[in-house]
Amino acid sequence: MFISLIITVVLGLGYYYIKLPAINLRAIEFYTFVLLLCAVYCICNLFVTGFKASGIREYARHLLKKCTVPVVIAGAFLVISVAGALVGNVFFRAKDYAGLLPMEAGDFAAEVDEVRWDQIPMLDENSANTLANKQMGELPDLVSQFEVDGSSAQINYQDRPVRATYLNYGDPIKWWKNRSEGIPAYLLIDMVTQEVTVQRLEEGIRYSPSEIFNRNIYRHLRFRYPTKMFYDVNFEVDDDGVPYWCATTVTNTIGLFGGTDVTGAVLVNALTGESQYYELGDVPSWVDRVCSARLILEQYDYYGLYQGGFWNSILGQTGCTKSTSGYNYIAMDDDVWVYTGVTSVGGDESNLGFILVNQRTKAARYYACAGANERSGMNSAQGAVQQYSYEATFPLLLNISDEPTYFMALKDASQLVKMYAMVNVSQYQIVSTGTTVEECQENYAKLLIKNGLAEEAPQETENVTEVTGRVVEIRSSVMEGDTYYFICLEGQALYYLINGREYPVATILNVGDKVTIQYEEGEGEILIGHSLERR
């Protein structure tokens, strides 16, 4: 018995050191751990005693006699786990699942600020990682020992949307060489300017996922908080540039294993390993990612499917909705909000609206806006430049002139950004493209005005002059879908450019007609006309 116990303890400690299960009755891995220990003890006991039996029944009787305690413990844990799973089954608790993500109705135009072209985040995760690896290649002292992690997290750093990523040791030998100093830097990629900043540290990062033993961040967290259930561990940077690990803590709120929900976060200083737990409502404001996007979407899908009850989700599906196939992030109110479209469970290609959820506080808002889903918006953007076979990135959701708008980059086969596109959510045939973000937004603004979704900004009158004369020549040209008229007046050697859609009288002018034109002063042979009146 003693030998069996020693073997069980040794194997159990090894399993715990590697797998790091939470010692918590609501964690299913804890039940796996306990059952494994019981099984190891019973098997060891059979081998140690050298018992031989002629059949299964004899083995069972011997097992009950020699391993009564572990068998009872295993049986009790099995009963508890099955009962806990049944009590938390969605069949019995559909309304509780639907209530995991309280939802408020929102006003998109009022709550989401308009974005100027020079503030639009242009990088997706793949592009940010490409830039980070390129920057690392220019730093011989780092690239020979460390690797850029394959993921980057969007955060707000000093009022700028950036992607933060950390470095890993290149291999165990490089870990051995550098472990005493730690990892000397991390990278920030500005999502607007695409500038990569290497943040050198006076004191290296000593706690990270690439550490092998006790300084491994997951092991460090488990040993400090053996009963906590962790969902995600994210890389964060405070306002002073100090790197942290933000470990999201969760619990199962429905039965034993159902209704996973966020309870708070443990913040670990990546340099020193010092840590502190915060309840969800007390997490510092500089932290951006507590609630995982995956968990948020899972909770919304429960809400959309079960708000009418379990049977309605199967039989009638009245009012049943689900999130679309992807998500992205919006920087708003110094926080990062995850957004996704909402569509019916029927799986059509249109959205009923979309949701925004604060990743720090889990505040959730629903915005009704019937229109194209993200994939349809991507297809519409790709169709506008189909001759180039560009591929659209998953879109950002922006407020442009109070209109929900998809913004995306268009990449070539080498994953290089060649153009940008904006697609109106409610009328996805309205598509603008441009080789720069500024050009794309200017074209989009014109399309909104043309389609009656926005009003043209009043022209500045400071440099506007009026002229009256007789028409001696009229020319026309179609530009961006509109017909423009070039009007030359008697005694002048220049033309006034008039938009025929804005001033229809230009379409019926004849040579010899007397007109009054207000125009913008400038140099050259063509001046921009702001009004046209026939006398």
**Mean pLDDT along residues 294-302:** 96
Weakest-pLDDT range from 361-365, 432-436, 470-474, 530-534: 530-534
Same domain, 278 and 172: yes
pLDDT surpassing 90 at residue 6? yes
Alpha-carbon span 37 to 110, nearest angstrom: 57
Q: DSSP for 342-365?
A: EEETT--SEEEEEEEEETTT--EE
The 10s digit of each residue's pLDDT in 351-386 is: 999 999 999 999 999 999 999 899 999 999 999 999
CB 342 within 8 A of CB 366: yes
With residue 247 as reference, give the H or E element that holds it. Answer: strand 243-254
Cα 48 to Cα 255: distance, rounded to the nearest angstrom: 40
Q: What angle do CA 65, 70, 73 make, to 5 degrees?
A: 125
Residue 407 has pLDDT above 80, yes or no: yes
> Residues 368, 483: one domain?
no
Question: Which domain CATH number covers 494?
Answer: 2.40.50.140
| CA dist., res. 183 & res. 169, Å (int) | 8
This model's pTM is above 0.85: no
Q: Please name which of 428, 382, 390, 399 lies closest in space to residue 119, comparing C-alpha atoms.
A: 399
Confidence of residue 66 (pLDDT cuts 50, 70, 90): confident
Identify the domain boundary among 290, 317, 339: 290
pLDDT of residue 530: 83
What pLDDT score does 422 carry? 96
pLDDT value at position 56?
A: 67
User: What pLDDT does residue 51 have?
Assistant: 60
CA count, 13 A, side-chain hemisphere, 169 = 23
Give the three-state DSSP class for 414: coil
Q: 176 and 157 in contact (C-beta within 8 Å)?
A: no
| Torsion region of 524: left, alpha or beta (phi above 0 gives left; psi -120 to 50 gives alpha) | left
416 vs 462: which has the higher pLDDT:
416
> What number is the average pLDDT over the span 175-183?
96
- Provide the residue range defining the domain that includes 425: 92-120+298-457
What residues contact residue 379 under an 8 Å CB cut-off, 6+ apart?
Answer: 392
Residue 450: which H helix or E strand, with range? helix 437-450
pLDDT at position 207? 98
pLDDT of residue 531 exceeding 90:
no
Check if the beta carbon of residue 128 is closer than 8 Å to that of residue 165: yes
Alpha helices of 282-330 — where are they, by DSSP H? 293-306, 310-314
Using 50, 70 and 90 to split pLDDT, how confident is the model at 460? low
- Residue 6: partners with Cβ closer than 8 Å, 6 or more residues away: none
Examine the pLDDT at 212 and tell me if it is beyond 90. Answer: yes
Q: How far apart are CA 192 and CA 363, in angstroms?
A: 26
Q: In which band, very low, low, confident or very high, does the pLDDT at 49 lie, cut at 50, 70 and 90?
A: low
The pLDDT tens digits for 28-39 are 999 999 999 999
- The answer to whether residues 239 and 370 belong to one domain is no
Would you say residue 254 has pLDDT above 80? yes
Mean pLDDT for the stretch of residues 39-61: 74
Check whether residue 150 and residue 115 sit in a common domain. no
Percent of the chain with pLDDT over 90: 68
Residue 279 shares a structural domain with residue 357: no
For the cut 60, the answer to whether the pLDDT of residue 459 exceeds it is no
Name, in order, each residue with C-beta under 8 angstroms of 352's C-beta and a sequence gap of 6 or more.
321, 342, 343, 344, 368, 370
Mean pLDDT of 102-114: 90
Question: Are 150 and 221 contained in the same domain?
Answer: yes
Q: Percentage of the chain surpassing pLDDT 70?
A: 96
Q: What is the pLDDT of residue 182?
A: 96
Local structure of 490: helix, strand or coil: coil
Judgement on whether residues 350 and 414 belong to the same structural domain of the protein: yes
Domain count for the chain, please give it. 4
Q: What is the average pLDDT across 112-138?
A: 85
What's the pLDDT score for residue 457? Answer: 60
- What's the pLDDT score for residue 333? 80
Last residue of a domain, one of 389, 422, 457: 457
Q: What is the mean pLDDT of residues 433-446?
A: 90
Sign of CA dihedral 340, 341, 342, 347: negative
**What pLDDT is attached to residue 53?**
60
Residues 141 and 217 in one domain: yes
Nearest CA-CA partner of 237 in 191, 276, 185, 281: 185
Give the pLDDT score at 69: 87
- pLDDT value at position 205? 98
In the predicted structure, residue 25 carries a pLDDT above the cut 90: yes
Rounded Cα distance between 339 and 330, Å, is 7
Residue 54 pLDDT? 65
pLDDT at 119 over 90: no
Same domain membership, residue 141 and residue 97: no
108 in the same domain as 135: no
Q: What is the pLDDT of residues 325-345, one digit of tens each?
A: 889 998 888 899 999 999 998
Instruction: Note whether 332 and 346 are same-domain residues.
Output: yes
Most confident of 289-298, 432-441, 525-534: 289-298
Sign of CA dihedral 329, 331, 334, 337: negative
Residue positions counted in the chain: 535
Neighbours of 485 (CB within 10 A): 21
pLDDT score at 158: 87
Q: What is the Cβ-side half-sphere exposure of residue 439, based on CA atoms within 13 angstroms?
A: 8
472 and 424 assigned to the same domain: no
Last residue of a domain, one of 263, 290, 317: 290
